[in-house]
Structure 1
Amino acid sequence: MGKQSAQTGRESEDLAAIYLTGLGYELLARNFRGAGGELDIVCQKGGVIYFVEVKARRRGTMVRPAEAVTPDKKRRLASCAEYWLYCHGKNTAACSFLLLTVEICPGEPSKIELVEDFLHW
């Protein structure tokens, strides 16, 4: 990942954390690494734990943010989520995956879209 891509990713994850907090989600972890993957954000709301994948793209790129989550990435996310649940003693917790996409539009506010249950496991 290039320096600019890494910075865009961090900024998008910061924006996502603020957005989710504003919707009433409680942040539990950011950038959790384990089991061959990384969880961008782990949060909870209403007794449900949510694993959030944040994808950002600049307006006009060929690949939309949601299309950047490959089947292999989804497998790694599921494995990492299971590991997070195990590490935190929450193996029986209700959980779900969210995809939060950020479309970066220079000179305009970024557009955010939240996709619920984007990964079924």
Structure 2
Amino acid sequence: MAHNILVCVTQQKTCERLIRRAAEMNVEMEGELFVLHVAKNGWNFLDNAKEGEALEYLFGISKSVGANLTVLKSDNIIESIINFIKENAISYIIIGESPNDHKENNFAQELESLLQNVHIRVISNSRR
């Protein structure tokens, strides 16, 4: 049975490792691969060249592994991700590990508490 995979990315080039890991998983899962970035309303990546360049880079990486990068604008990031998951029948979510002092450390736990039958895999920042 095919399983769809979602990769949640930030506007950083280092998220390439998440996309590549998900692409490796997708070989076994035989589903569709989705890459998603949710930006706060009012945030304009055209005003920030570095972040815009990073999203362009991730768009290219996504395309190279057969995925499309979707950018959504929302003030409720969790709700937007959950809606995307439901709309696209996602079975697995890949997210990056947050730094210890980062307020989004509970991101995976919050998603897990709101989703059933969706597996969440947090990928470490270290290059082991």
The two structures have a TM-score, normalised by structure 1, of: 0.35
Q: Which has more helix, going by share of residues?
A: 2
